[in-house]
Structure 1
């Protein structure tokens, strides 16, 4: 494995860093001010103008749709090449949208590219790639343990030339955005089929009759507007039969194709979050004094900063290894590495953010420095796209498999 970035990646990193320095970091307060104004008006579910102002600039710089490997529609980058770019975007929570590289759209665009019909691509993929609309992914349900996706109970039943959908979903990220027009929904088409052939995935326009947004779910009190996470009822929702993706019973197949890249993208951005938290922590420690010397000079903080740097470097290398394997041997063979980094990255970031909060004292738990918001996002990521326990189970099962034959042979 060679983790040296290609010349193409280095050039894109330089351009992206320049864009962040010139347009993203200077406008963090602008974004916050525009969102504060919406909240003061009583409706935070609006798009800050600064986002729309910056998108044409990103397009003009050639920093648009950098994901979608092996596709003429995307940036043509491998997962390995995309990793450091995604990390840079992750340093600011809303930055990835400026480059049309934000979740869940990236995962949904990959689904449409791989499994959608020509109509699906024309009607949904093209406007998503153009940044003209947003999308959502509806899988998790409040009434079952959705960490085991075989429990998902939403019904998708054929009725002539249509499918009828009934169920309740939650943590449907992106539904709060007024530009969100389409959702990929997972549910059961045949409860009597083999366990992993019961589920299917289907495209559901959010303005279809019977789609009802019950509420937007807060995360530690944050509404995450204008993106948001919704609880949604699907009541006798009818969509054309051709909206079914790939075919009945192929929901798990689609999920594996979608979640591999989705998980690794989250981890890439998480490294950026951890780097930003470490930067904020170090700057704070170097500019505050306590008990007659800079806080940075107290040995406990030397230990915490050193550990943060070590953990970030380890997490970055594991992210790159997973990306490299996805590119070279495929997502299925790389499932252990994907699972490992999905557990490691959020936990690394959480520890660093927690230390950064401590370094900021009481200010750390306010909204003044953005650390509390960072923490809420990273804590959620330990659940999103599969909780830590599920990924740990995958890792352990693969580890047991390595030695089971040897143990059995020794016993015999």
Structure 2
């Protein structure tokens, strides 16, 4: 999908915004001036030219991106509703970040490997994983119900930033195996947030990525808040500019522009697979909802900021573009909504009917071929449970 430039762009396309407030004045501040970034589709649905990045999609591919965005948001909203109704223990919403995830996810080739956090439901969708797969994790019924090697999509990682080390290690292995240097080479992408950029694991991953020239894209979704802390309390330097200190390029992209996210990510992945090393991509976006369903964002951000970002909604701008270009009509939009209804309906039925795990599941998936000690412990546990029979337990 789409064309790509033949040379790497200059390192970074934004400017540094000087901090204007003290730390104790950051909370509940209004929207700050936006930085410059790579953009191919404006908030009002107009195509924008960029000297280094472009896409050349067919009408069908444009419609496919819109369908992805709508379905992923609907799945996310349905999952939030299921948590509020007591069917999930917690949910980490992606609302507002759909373009960053669909754009980067569709830029991946089949042979590429992705390492997510716990919020990459859109990338999961792009990799062909059943959208019901993460819900056992968020219900507490399993640890993630998909095979990472089948979809080249690792299990969700709850330890903040740890997946970046996993990704860089995997990418180093690809390099040692000689799976880079051609059009058919492999590449790796690691997702993390602006808050995770303060973690030591992310710093160490960047060090190793740079030193070992690993074929990895470090994709930071800067959604402006690390739980309750604004990005100004994570860094005084734009995140993408940190790449220079590690010795590889960094670029900031409009994270609410699915076309730009695709173009920038595809270029970075192609550079990685051709042996040109890592790239740090900062997708400048916004988390419309809470950090998770246990969070109350009204305690640390104001309504005017949210309203400002609503005007940059990633789905609305693609729909406007499709309408202006006469690429889609009312029948298409209705069909997409019907598909979303069907898919989210199946999700709801699956989650509501999901059985609770049995206590003995603690002993599953510990050893690939079992162990005598584990067998003995399982037998003891069965006897222990049986000892309560008839006592109302």
TM-score normalised by L of structure 1 = 0.23
Which of the pair has the greater relative contact order for Cα pairs under 8 Å at 6+ separation?
2
Q: Write 1 or 2 for the structure with the bigger share of strand.
A: 1
Q: Write 1 or 2 for the structure with the bigger share of helix.
A: 1
TM-score normalised by L of structure 2 = 0.24
